[in-house]
């Protein structure tokens, strides 16, 4: 099909509820100088004749996008889609800490397809991805979602003859998906103009950083309008990604998926060498220095250890409870509920009992007893520094722990861990 030459029926825009199906040209056609107002060439699917509005689970969408999703077999939104799509359609910025497999592509693909005007042949959305494979995958997904809206998508990446991409860009594309290097190449040749971009997506920003695209990401973002919406996806938030968020996003929504996402980079990690018998005194000393509103999760190895420490801290009138599998469900719920609400600022827990804890307010994790291996360490300290907050991990290394600690330390690499000194050993 060659819709570029044909007057194609337009899917009604949300802001213009008139039955545009019957129109041969866009209602905006006479207000703009550029001709012709037909959608850029797309994968097909037009003319769309279905209902004007539709639903994807509980999310309201244009009929065209809803129909495409139904055809793709997407019946219910995934958790990230549920949280991201409505706000993104309204134009809000987003940080999504999610990995491939979460449905993140549609989480930004749906808002893109809703927000762009397929009758405007300028590039209105740009998606930066780290690899060619991801560029192809994202292109396919956005094309399918936008099929009935007439959204045209162009993939640009290295390793494919540039000529083909040039032709596609010349014909007009609403969405460009590509790797930063090739996108900059097109910008340099004057074949890609980002002045009309409404939505910019950084997909797998941490990966792009690792590959060496840091400067390119910034270069490209700076050449899009300041008014653009910026959606950033990254499994982790290292320092540079944090900088991107601060510089290029405006009060973004934060969506963090799953308890398994490891955010070690945002955690300040400190350790103290301390004799087993002095650990409690050391804990009290360090607690004296934390802010009043700190939310502290303390790990102990055994249930008895949890009970003992919770009792000892409580006797010093600290707002603390213990959590472990030996308690009744009621007791566990009470401890979790009070810690979650902030009524308790300290929770002492075993590993197992803390598994499901996902409380963004947790500011400090104490390894009162060291974890058994690096995975457990990373998992524990991943309880803090959530939703873009800073976190602190404090580890006590006792006389029996040196060997195990060395293993964890060598895995984490130098520069991550700072050794602290306890005044009573001076």
Q: Which SS3 state, helix, strand or coil, does residue 60 take?
A: strand
102 belongs to the binding site for ligand AMP (CB under 6 A): yes
Structure tokens at 356: 């499901």
Please count the CA atoms within 13 angstroms of the CA of 384 that sit on its side-chain side. 27
Output 43 or 326, the one with its CB closest to ligand AMP. 43
Residue from 10, 104, 300, 380 touching ligand AMP (CB under 6 A): that is: 104
Name the minimum Å distance from CB 126 to ligand AMP: 18
Residue from 103, 172, 180, 322 touching ligand AMP (CB under 6 A): that is: 103
Contact between residue 176 and residue 123 where contact means Cβ atoms under 8 Å apart: yes
Beta bridge partners of 177: 127, 155
DSSP strand pairing (267-273 vs 320-323): unpaired
Name the minimum Å distance from CB 175 to ligand AMP: 15
Structure tokens at 361: 């307010």
Residue 56 belongs to what H/E stretch? strand 53-56
Length of the chain: 426
Which positions from 261 through 290 interact with ligand AMP, judged by CB under 6 A? Answer: none
Strands (E), 42-179: 53-56, 59-62, 94-97, 125-128, 153-156, 175-178
Helices (H) and strands (E) counted in the chain, each on its own, are 15, 16
Output 107 or 274, the one with its CB closest to ligand AMP. 107
Contact between residue 156 and residue 178 where contact means Cβ atoms under 8 Å apart: yes
Contact between residue 12 and residue 116 where contact means Cβ atoms under 8 Å apart: no
Output 191 or 262, the one with its CB closest to ligand AMP. 262
Name the minimum Å distance from CB 100 to ligand AMP: 4
Please state the φ and ψ torsions of residue 54, each to the nearest 5 degrees: -150, 180
Binding segment (CB under 6 A) for ligand AMP, from list 3-11, 28-36, 103-111, 404-412 = 103-111
Cα–Cα distance measured from residue 123 to residue 413, given in angstroms and rounded to the nearest whole number = 43
256 belongs to the binding site for ligand AMP (CB under 6 A): no
Cα–Cα distance measured from residue 323 to residue 334, given in angstroms and rounded to the nearest whole number = 10
Output 257 or 274, the one with its CB closest to ligand AMP. 257
Residue from 61, 66, 106, 353 touching ligand AMP (CB under 6 A): that is: 106
Name the minimum Å distance from CB 111 to ligand AMP: 14
Contact between residue 365 and residue 299 where contact means Cβ atoms under 8 Å apart: yes
Name the minimum Å distance from CB 59 to ligand AMP: 10
Please identify which residue in the block is written with the tokens 């290097």.
181
Output 202 or 296, the one with its CB closest to ligand AMP. 202
The sign of the CA dihedral 92, 95, 99, 100 is positive
| Total of residues contacting ligand AMP (CB under 6 A) | 11
Output 257 or 336, the one with its CB closest to ligand AMP. 257
Name the minimum Å distance from CB 316 to ligand AMP: 48
97 belongs to the binding site for ligand AMP (CB under 6 A): no
Output 10 or 104, the one with its CB closest to ligand AMP. 104
Contact between residue 141 and residue 73 where contact means Cβ atoms under 8 Å apart: no
Output 142 or 209, the one with its CB closest to ligand AMP. 142
Output 85 or 298, the one with its CB closest to ligand AMP. 85
330 belongs to the binding site for ligand AMP (CB under 6 A): no
Binding mask 66-95 for ligand AMP (x = CB under 6 A): --------x--xx--x--------------
Residue from 101, 330, 356, 413 touching ligand AMP (CB under 6 A): that is: 101
Name the minimum Å distance from CB 40 to ligand AMP: 24
Output 73 or 161, the one with its CB closest to ligand AMP. 73
Name the minimum Å distance from CB 106 to ligand AMP: 5
Q: Show Cβ contacts of residue 219 under 8 Å, excluding neighbours closer than 6 positions.
A: 184
139 belongs to the binding site for ligand AMP (CB under 6 A): no
Name the minimum Å distance from CB 99 to ligand AMP: 7
Q: In angstroms, what is the C-alpha Rg of the chain? A: 26
Residue from 100, 302, 333, 341 touching ligand AMP (CB under 6 A): that is: 100
Name the minimum Å distance from CB 216 to ligand AMP: 23
Contact between residue 354 and residue 380 where contact means Cβ atoms under 8 Å apart: yes
Q: Show Cβ contacts of residue 80 under 8 Å, excluding neighbours closer than 6 positions.
A: 96, 98, 102, 103, 104, 107, 255, 257
Q: Could you report how far apart the first and last alpha carbons of the chain are, in Å?
A: 80
Which residues contribute to the site for ligand AMP (CB under 6 A)? 74, 77-78, 81, 100-106
């Amino acid at each position: 099909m060659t819709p570029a030459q044909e007057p194609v029926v337009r899917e009604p825009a949300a802001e213009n509820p008139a039955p545009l199906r019957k129109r041969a040209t866009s209602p905006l056609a006479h207000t703009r100088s550029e001709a012709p107002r037909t959608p850029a060439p797309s994968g097909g699917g037009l003319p769309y004749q279905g209902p004007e509005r539709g639903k994807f689970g509980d999310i309201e969408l244009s009929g065209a996008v809803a129909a495409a999703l139904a055809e793709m077999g997407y019946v219910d939104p995934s958790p990230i889609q549920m949280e991201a799509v409505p706000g993104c359609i309204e134009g809000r910025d987003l940080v999504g800490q999610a990995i491939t497999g979460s449905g993140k592509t549609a989480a930004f693909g749906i808002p893109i397809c809703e927000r762009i005007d397929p009758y405007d042949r300028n590039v209105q959305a740009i998606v930066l991805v780290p690899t060619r494979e991801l560029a192809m995958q994202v292109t396919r997904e956005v094309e399918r979602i936008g099929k009935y809206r007439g959204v045209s998508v162009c993939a640009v990446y290295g390793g494919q003859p540039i000529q083909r991409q040039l032709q596609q860009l010349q014909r007009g594309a609403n969405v460009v998906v590509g790797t930063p290097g090739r996108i900059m190449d097109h910008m340099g040749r004057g074949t890609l103009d980002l002045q009309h971009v409404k939505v910019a997506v950084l997909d797998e920003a941490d990966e792009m950083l690792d590959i060496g695209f840091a400067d390119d990401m910034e270069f490209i973002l700076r050449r899009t309008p300041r008014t653009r919406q910026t959606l950033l996806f990254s499994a982790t938030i290292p320092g540079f990604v944090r900088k991107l968020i601060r510089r290029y996003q405006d009060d973004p929504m934060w969506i963090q998926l799953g308890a398994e996402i490891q955010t070690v980079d945002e955690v300040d990690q400190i350790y103290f060498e301390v004799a087993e018998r002095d650990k409690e005194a050391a804990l009290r000393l360090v607690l004296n220095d934390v802010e009043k509103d700190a939310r502290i999760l303390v790990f102990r190895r055994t249930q008895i250890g949890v009970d003992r420490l919770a009792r000892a801290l409580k006797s010093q009138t600290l707002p603390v409870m213990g959590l472990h599998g030996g308690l009744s469900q009621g007791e566990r719920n009470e401890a979790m509920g009070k810690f979650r609400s902030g009524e308790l600022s300290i929770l002492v827990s075993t590993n197992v009992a803390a598994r499901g804890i996902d409380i963004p307010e947790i500011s400090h994790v104490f390894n009162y007893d060291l974890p058994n291996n690096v995975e457990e360490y990373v998992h524990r300290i991943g309880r803090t520094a959530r939703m873009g907050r800073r976190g602190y991990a404090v580890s006590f290394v006792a006389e029996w722990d040196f060997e195990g600690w060395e293993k964890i330390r060598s895995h984490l690499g130098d520069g991550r861990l700072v050794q602290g000194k306890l005044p009573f050993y001076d």
